[in-house]
Structure formats: structure tokens, C-alpha cells
């Protein structure tokens, strides 16, 4: 199936590739211990070197496979985080759905909205048969998001230096099922 849209399109959010000029926003997203405690095995804030490498990796990933973790802004241009897909480390034929929102957006349902948009974009624009979600065991907020978008727990495995909980959602069998899932997780305009 050919891709119809290179990035998710949504009336409330704008998705695009990260650029070097986005470093200050990424610093806000990944520069605090509280924000990144579940993002890596050591839970340390990301340095400018880490962030610059991530920007380059996301750009290269997009050009290589056609999806990545995108920058997400509100319709009025306020940075809210990143969301998207990446080939799963060690299993490039599988894609991990991931998201991270700025602290000001926590608890407002934005992560669930972004995850839903990305999930639906994947069904409409790729041939992926399923998506994977990965969380560290204590990250119950992220686990709730994955459950809300239809993922089911599949077990724990060592991943990126620590034990992680894995989740999976299969491609819907019908357009109606995908549309029903999409409408249940959207904010009213």
C-alpha cells in the first residue's frame, strides 16, 4: 500500500520532522530528570549532544523507512512534544509507537490523542500488520495511554538496558473498526 500522507494530518495538531533549530524545545522535553525518568535505563536528562544525535537519527529514519518520531505543535504553534513510529531496535520489520509530551501537557489526554493519531496514520499509510508499545515497568501513565488506544500487554523483555513491558495492537480487520477506535479517543472541536 503506498503512503498517502508523509506525516499525520490533524485539525488540532501539526506534525513535522525535527530540525536543528528545535533544540531548545527538545531541551525542554528531555532536559529534566522528572520528564525523562522512564526514557532510558539510567533516567538521566539528555544533553545537547544527545538531542542533536536524536534529530539526525529521526531525519535519517524518516528518509529510510517513511516514518519516525515527529515534532508536534498545537494548531496555534505551541510545542507539545513528539510522537510517531520507529523501527523496533533488533526487529526492523516491527514499528514502535512512541510519544513524549511536555510537562505542561501531562494529565490532559494529549498523549492519548497523539498516540491515537499516530496509530490511525499507520493503518492508513503503511502496511504494518501491528504496532508495538514499550514502557518501563513503573511508567503507569504511559501504560494507560497504550491500553486506551487498544494495545494489549504481551510480556516483559530486556530492552535498551532494562526490563520493559511490551504491548501490541493489531491492524483492524475493517475500516469501521478503525474509525470507531479513532472517534472514541478524540477531543471535540
Q: Write down the mean pLDDT value for the chain.
A: 87
Cell numbers found for residue 8 = 499525520
| pLDDT at position 188 | 40
Query: How does pLDDT run across 2-43, given as a tens digit for each residue?
Result: 458 899 999 999 999 999 999 999 999 988 777 776 666 577
Nearest-10 crossing angle of helices 48-65, 23-30: 110
Task: Say whether pTM exceeds 0.85.
Answer: yes
At 116 the three-state DSSP class reads helix
Residue 111: CB atoms within 10 Å: 24
| pLDDT at position 176 | 47
Average pLDDT over residues 134-161: 91
184 or 51, higher pLDDT: 51
For residue 100, which of 188, 34, 159 has the smallest C-alpha distance? 34
d(C-alpha 41, C-alpha 29), whole Å: 17
| pLDDT at position 37 | 64
CATH match of 13-184 with 2.30.40.10: no
Amino acid at each position: 500500500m503506498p503512503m498517502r500522507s508523509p506525516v499525520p494530518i490533524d485539525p488540532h495538531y501539526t506534525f513535522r520532522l525535527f530540525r536543528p533549530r528545535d533544540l531548545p524545545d527538545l531541551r525542554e522535553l528531555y532536559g529534566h530528570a522528572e520528564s525523562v525518568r522512564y526514557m532510558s535505563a539510567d533516567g538521566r536528562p539528555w544533553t545537547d549532544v544527545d538531542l542533536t544525535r536524536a534529530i539526525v537519527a529521526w531525519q535519517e529514519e524518516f528518509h529510510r523507512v517513511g516514518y519516525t518520531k515527529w515534532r508536534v505543535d498545537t494548531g496555534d504553534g505551541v510545542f507539545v512534544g513528539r510522537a510517531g513510529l520507529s523501527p523496533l531496535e533488533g526487529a526492523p520489520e516491527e514499528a514502535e509507537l512512541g510519544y513524549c509530551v511536555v510537562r505542561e501537557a501531562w494529565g490532559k489526554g494529549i498523549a492519548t490523542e497523539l498516540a491515537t493519531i499516530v496509530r490511525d496514520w499507520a493503518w492508513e499509510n503503511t502496511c504494518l500488520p501491528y504496532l508495538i508499545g514499550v514502557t518501563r515497568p513503573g511508567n503507569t501513565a504511559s501504560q494507560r495511554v497504550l491500553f486506551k488506544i487498544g494495545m494489549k500487554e504481551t510480556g516483559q523483555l530486556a530492552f535498551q538496558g532494562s526490563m520493559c513491558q511490551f504491548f501490541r495492537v493489531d491492524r483492524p480487520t475493517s475500516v469501521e473498526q478503525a474509525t470507531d477506535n479513532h472517534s472514541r479517543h478524540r477531543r471535540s472541536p
